[in-house]
């Protein structure tokens, strides 16, 4: 690689258009870089980002200013026993029998409801980002919580504002103000619903959160509201972009799409590779509790560290031919890809590994299966050039497709 004289800027238009060349330059020449505009150190090599997610010297105290003003105090910023107990209270709802028996039917129904009008139109065309991906995970969460289906659009608007706030690296005041309005509106809506559900619990996710108890500890109304807020942001954004990213990656590699069509068990492999190749969350921040030495130097105690997942997941020292999308690669085992031992870094690692990883996997598998069933001959529309946007989170701006409509 040619010598790079100037470090790439993660807030530049060039980076926003395509961050991957900049990631390569950062890994090669600036593995530890102070970024003045965001007040953070950037780390980009796989080994360094992996350590930042696993080593407890990298704390989540940064979320006190990054998340708490819009969500309230959430699970992701807790540590020690407080974190262990809160995670134990919510985790059972997102795995095992509860996920398979209670919530899988909700996921399947929402996929059908979004796909039905696309196929009923019999045009043989669709735009899968706006027609499906951005709405699917939010609708699923609303229905899992046992909320009114009529509120799908309202929650989608709140989700959009929360995600924009989370990724507001440039500190746009309008984005900040919209995030604060959303915090107030969501609290005004949810707190009375939570209080009513405590009095009249059902078999939905919100009732599970209201009644869960461990060693005499239960979640307060504010705890539940904050968890729901982060669930919409984290659960919606990752799944939204993972679905469109997976389908887009397969459409760009027709031979791999054909393999998935023939063997739907490969969807999990395709998702794992999508999370590595085009991770929906490109960056996650941490704060150092003490001085830490990484590639390129020492990060002082109390520093904000921006862990560049998008860069680490394409580190040639960890993955063979990392700029190639390959669902059959042998250095990314599917069996661990949705656990805290994952080789990709898209869900973080360690105690703060994404609690909803299996929910996201289930949603993607259901959604992609139903899309493939309903859309034979699925392909990109002619002259379509896939484009992505976003810096903190990143995904396709659109996914225009054609398929063979049903006869009649």
**DSSP characters for 256-316?**
HHHHHHH-GGGHHHHHHHHHHHS-SB-EEEEEESS-EEETTEEEPTT-EEEEEHHHHTT-T
In a domain, 387, yes or no: no
Cα torsion through 300, 66, 52, 79, rounded to 10: 100
Helix 236-251, helix 267-277: angle, nearest 10: 100
Residue 319 CA to residue 325 CA, distance in Å, equals 11
Please give the pLDDT value at position 1.
Answer: 41
Instruction: Report the alpha-carbon distance of residue 117 to residue 128 in Å, rounded.
Output: 12
CATH of the domain at 236: 1.10.630.10
Instruction: Give the pLDDT mean for 117-146.
Output: 94
**CB-based burial label for 121 (10 Å; 0-12, 13-18, 19+):** exposed
pLDDT at residue 161 tops 70: yes
Distance CA 309, CA 304 (A): 15
Quote the pLDDT of residue 4.
Answer: 53
Tell me which residue range forms the domain holding 35. Answer: 13-376
Is residue 313 domain-resident? Answer: yes
Contacts (Cβ under 8 Å, ≥6 apart) of 322: 313, 314, 315, 316
Q: What is the chain's mean pLDDT, rounded?
A: 91
- The confidence score (pLDDT) of residue 408 equals 55
- pTM of the predicted model over 0.85: yes
Mind giving me the DSSP string for 128-177?
HIIIIITTHHHHHHHHHTT--GGGHHHHHHHHHHHHHHHT-TT--HHHHH
Instruction: Give the chain's end-to-end CA distance (angstroms, integer).
Output: 57
Q: Average pLDDT in the 281-295 region?
A: 95
Which is more confidently placed, 252 or 122? 252
Tokens 């998340």 belong to residue: 67
How far CA 216 is from CA of 154, 199, 212, 323, in Å, comes to 35, 19, 10, 50
Are residues 168 and 175 in contact, defined by beta-carbon separation less than 8 angstroms?
yes
Q: Is residue 6 part of a domain?
A: no
For the chain, what is the domain count? 1
> In angstroms, rounded to a whole number, what is the distance separating the alpha carbons of residues 115 and 128?
10
Over residues 213-222, the pLDDT tens digits come to 888 888 899 9
Contact 399, 127 (CB under 8 A): yes
Helix 357-374 crosses helix 267-277 at what angle (to 10 degrees)?
120
Determine, yes or no, domain membership for 236: yes
Q: Tell me if 165 sits within 8 A of 179, measured CB to CB.
A: yes
Residue 381 in domain? no
Q: Are 179 and 68 in contact (CB under 8 A)?
A: no
Whole-number Å distance between alpha carbons of 381 and 407 = 20
Q: What does the pLDDT read at residue 355?
A: 76
Residue 3 lies in a domain: no
Q: Would you say residue 4 lies in a domain?
A: no
- Cross-strand pairs, 283: 308
pLDDT value at position 2?
A: 44
In a domain, 385, yes or no: no
Residues 370-390: tens digit of each pLDDT = 999 999 999 999 888 899 999
pLDDT digits (tens, 9 = 90+) for 260-282: 999 999 999 999 999 999 999 99
């Amino acid at each position: 690689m040619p010598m790079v004289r100037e470090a790439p800027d993660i807030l530049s238009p060039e980076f926003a258009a395509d961050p991957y060349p900049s990631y390569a330059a950062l890994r090669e020449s600036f593995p530890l870089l102070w970024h003045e505009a965001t007040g953070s150190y950037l780390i980009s090599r796989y080994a360094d980002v992996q350590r930042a997610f696993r080593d407890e010297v990298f704390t989540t105290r940064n979320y006190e200013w990054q998340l708490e003003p819009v969500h309230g105090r959430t699970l992701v910023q807790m540590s020690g026993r407080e974190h262990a107990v809160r995670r134990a209270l919510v985790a059972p709802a997102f795995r095992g029998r509860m996920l398979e028996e209670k919530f899988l039917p909700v996921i399947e129904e929402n996929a059908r409801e979004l796909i039905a009008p696309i196929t009923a139109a019999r045009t043989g065309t669709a735009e899968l980002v706006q027609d499906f991906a951005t709405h699917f995970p939010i609708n699923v969460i609303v229905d899992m919580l046992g909320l009114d289906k009529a509120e799908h659009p309202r929650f989608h608007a709140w989700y959009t504002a929360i995600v924009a706030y989370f990724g507001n690296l440039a500190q746009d005041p309008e984005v900040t103000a919209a995030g604060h309005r959303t915090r107030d509106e969501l609290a005004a809506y949810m707190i009375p619903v939570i209080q009513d559900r405590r009095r009249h619990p059902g078999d939905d996710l919100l009732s599970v959160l209201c009644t869960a108890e461990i060693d005499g500890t239960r979640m307060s109304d504010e705890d539940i509201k904050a968890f729901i807020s982060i669930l919409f942001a984290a659960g919606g954004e990752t799944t939204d972009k993972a679905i469109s990213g997976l389908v887009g990656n397969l459409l760009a590699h027709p031979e791999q799409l054909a393999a998935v069509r023939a063997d739907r068990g490969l969807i999990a492999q395709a998702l794992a590779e999508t999370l590595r190749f085009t991770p929906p969350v490109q960056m996650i921040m941490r704060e150092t509790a003490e001085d830490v030495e990484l590639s390129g130097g020492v990060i002082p105690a109390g520093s904000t560290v921006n862990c560049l997942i998008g860069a680490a997941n394409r580190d040639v020292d960890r993955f063979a031919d990392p700029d190639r999308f390959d669902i059959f690669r042998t250095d990314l085992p599917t069996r661990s890809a949705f656990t805290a031992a994952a080789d990709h870094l898209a869900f973080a690692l360690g105690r703060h590994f994404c609690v909803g990883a299996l929910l996201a996997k289930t949603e993607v598998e259901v959604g992609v299966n139903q899309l493939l069933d309903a859309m034979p001959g699925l392909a990109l529309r002619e002259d379509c050039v896939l484009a992505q946007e976003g810096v903190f989170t990143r995904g396709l701006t659109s996914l225009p497709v054609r398929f063979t409509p049903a006869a009649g």
